[in-house]
Structure formats: structure tokens, C-alpha cells
A and B are shown apart, each in its own frame.
Chain A
Amino acid sequence: MINQTQLKLPDPERDHIQGAIDAPIALLEYGDYECLFCGEVQPIVREIQRRLGDDLCFAFRHFPLTNVHPHAEHAAEAAEAAGEQRSFWPMHETLFANQNALDDESLAEYGAALGLDEVRLIQEVISGAYAARIREDFKSGVRAGVNGTPCFFINGKRYDGPRALESLLAAVSQPATIM
């Protein structure tokens, strides 16, 4: 069944991760910067990271639904472009905090505000420099049974429960009991 899908992750060679790769709990999110539900869950993810500390490794993969979210692809590109300038996570936070303004001009603005080379950033965004990587994220998600965003995997198993803090926290705290 889809719920039992195992996913090898996170991969330190390619994934953006926060925390130690050998932490006992691995939380992977498939998300879309223009998806409001992903935006809503963002503070919850941060709180889980705060509470679990060194016990948690968090990874984020892109799952942009580009037809319903016209800016999602460029926003994902901007996160990757910032990552190339060692600022993936600050850009990640900035994008989720500004979901209503993800046009190219705003993306360049965020790059500048984060002290990045915004000209390089926006050139990479517009040329789709990271399109293949973003597509790879998306396809890995589809393969693993992601059917919408945000979608979480805890130690490789899809989490289908509510996205409230208590529920997610309970699930990540006892990864063995996840359906």
C-alpha cells in the first residue's frame, strides 16, 4: 500500500538538510512555496526542530504544482539559487514568510535583503538553472506517493495524520508507531 512506501532519505549528497544526518529521527517535507498550507505548517516544523534538537534531521524537497501556483517554480529556483550561495534555509524561510509576493522582482529583492548576489540569483531563476533538480525532487515525491503538499515522511514512511503541532510532534517522537 502507498502508506507503507519506504523512501531512502535524506540524502546528504543532494538534499538540503538541517541537523545531523545520523540523527535518530528524519523528517522530510515535500513542499511548494506558493502553497498556503505549506506556509501554515512552517512554524510547526520550526517548533518541532526546536523541541527535538539534535534528535532530528530535517530535509526539504520541492513539489511545486506549477499550473495552480504560477510562482512556485521560480520560488523553488530562488531557494536553490540561494542555496548555491550558501543561503538555502534563509531564503526558504523568507519565501514562506512572503507567499503572496513571489514574482521575480520580489525574489531578487529577497536575495538582496539576504546579502546575496541578486543579479546572479535572478539570472539563475529565470534561466531555470535548477529545473532538473527540482523536477527530480518532484518525481521522487510522486514515486513515494506524495499526492499533495505539504507531505511529510518520518524515517521514510509517509505521515498522513493531521498537521497540528501535537499530532506531528507525537508522530516524530515515536516514529516506530506511524502507520
Chain B
Amino acid sequence: MDTALTVRSLRAYYLTRYFGITREVRAVDDITLSVMRKEIYGIAGESSCGKSTFIKTIAAAVRPPLRVLGGSIKYSFLDRDLYDLNEKALADMRWKHLSCILQGSMNVLNPVRRVRESFKDFAFPHLGLARREFFDVVNQHLGRLHLSPSVLSAFPHELSGGMRQRVAIALATVCRPEFIIADEPTTALDVVVQKDVLALILETQREIGSSMVFVTHDLTVHANISNRLGIMYAGRLVEEGPTGDILHDPIHPYTRHLVASLPRIGDLTPKKALSGAPPSLADPPSGCRFHPRCPLAMDICRQANPELTPLASGRRVACYAVGPLVKPAADSAAAPQATQADKSAAFLQ
């Protein structure tokens, strides 16, 4: 299968410096993943685990104090690394090849201008059509999302939350981009509208055949939309695999907890909540970042960081306690490096 996006050992930290004291917040720490063409890759994790930072990084929306310190991001539609592009090339690429659906659609649309102006700003330069034809295309596209052309002359506050989110989807997909990034697009919506919006996202994605990174903390949403799922914890990817496999047979202790705590109708068994709080990314725990809350923590977990290791079934997991990971001797660093090399080799195939 073709890959649409390849991210390798990406690190992005927030670096702040006040009065000579430098603080770094390791929001994205050594993430390696790839997204296939026409695939929906889900990313799940709690708040402050670095999901949004990861998205900013792959969307080239990095502003200080966030800085990308290492790694590479390659899109199939670009011949170079994302960060080798200049401003103009980035502007040409955005919306045409890579677009975003964000959480608060109120914040995406300018509140004091009509929706039409937003379409003109974002999409008009990319489609290269005359004005009349451009609006024909836009109207047709709005129709596909069950919106009437009259929303173009409305102000954002005149639309309901669900309609606004659909306008944001229309905006992101009108140029038929190869890659769409969706950051919690349904979190602010209630259940009825959520289902409709998800259906539309899926329909549109299938129709234009784009790849997608879909971020939300809600695993039930992932169950319904994502093909593959990556679980993030404290800036790192801890488990990855086909969504069904992860939900049926979670391997990592954190994923197991997430899956076990899902409420279902018809199920009254008491659900346990995870003790403790997510770690501060400014001062993450040593070794595996999950160990302070992990029921299976061992000595090795406090000292060494488990690498994300591939399993036979196409899944990857980063855990000493349950994974197939070779437990490295505390004094030699050779073993984990070997697995890293193997992993990269396996990954590139």
C-alpha cells in the first residue's frame, strides 16, 4: 500500500526562556508512524498528551515557543520534507493538498464576516476558477453536505453548531485535498448531530479519496470512523494497530484501561477509573511515562523507556510488562538500539 504520510522520530518541544531559566515541555517525543493512502488514522489520548501539538507539527503550523527539534515529516504529494519548504510553498500546499477540520468551528470562521468571505479567502486562490464557476463548485459541494447555498451569506453566529461544523468540513474539503487533519471535530457537538457529522466526514473522505488523521479522546468515535488507531500517552505513542484489534484486545495497560472504562448501554458492571493524574510534560517521569499509574510497573519501567515494537499482527506496542519487547540489561544500550533499527527496517518496507 502507498503511504500518504511518513513521520519519523518526530520531536517537538515547547521551549520557553524566562530570566535565564529554560523550560522545555516535551509535547511530542519521538513519534514514528505512517498513514496509508485513503486511510483514516485515529489518534486517541487524554488532554495534554500532545495530540494537538502533534497535529500542529504535521500541519506545519508551528509557532514559537513550539519548536520542532528533530525527525522528518514526508507527505506523498511533496517531494521534500515538510520543513524544507518555504513560506510560499507552504501557502500553496495548504487547503489544496493538506487541510484541517478543527474543534471549535466558531474559531475557524471569522465571526464578523459572512461565510462567503471565508470561502473566498481559503479556497478561491487554490481552485483557479473564475468567480462564478468558483461559487458553482462551492454550492455544489455545500449541497453534498446537505447545506443550502444560503449559508454563504450568513454570519457564523446565525448557524447552529452542527451547521457550522459542516461549513468547516465544506471549507476543508472543497479543494479536494489529498490529506485532511481533523482535530476533535465532533467534541463540541451533541450525540445526535455528532453522528450525522461523522457520517458526512466519512462520506466526503471516501468520495474525494483523501487520507485522514482523526484526533479525538473518545474511543467510541474512533470505533466508528478510524481504520487504524494510535494511542498517545504523555507525548509518546504507546500502542498502534487496526481499530478493531485494539478495541477487542488491547495490549498496553493504558489502552486496556481506556477500553475497559467505556460505558455501554446494557452494561452495568462497575467501571474502574484510573488513579493518579496525567504527568506534567515539563517534567515527565523517567523510563516509561506511564509507570507511576501502571498496575504492572516493574523496576525496568522506571529506568528505561520501552520502544514501540512491532508485533506479528501488524500492531506496535511500547511496554515491557506485556509486549514482546526484549528486556534490555540496565547497563547495555545495545539491545534497544537494535530493536530500533529493526523497527525502522520493518517500517520502511
Q: Do A and B come from one complex?
A: no
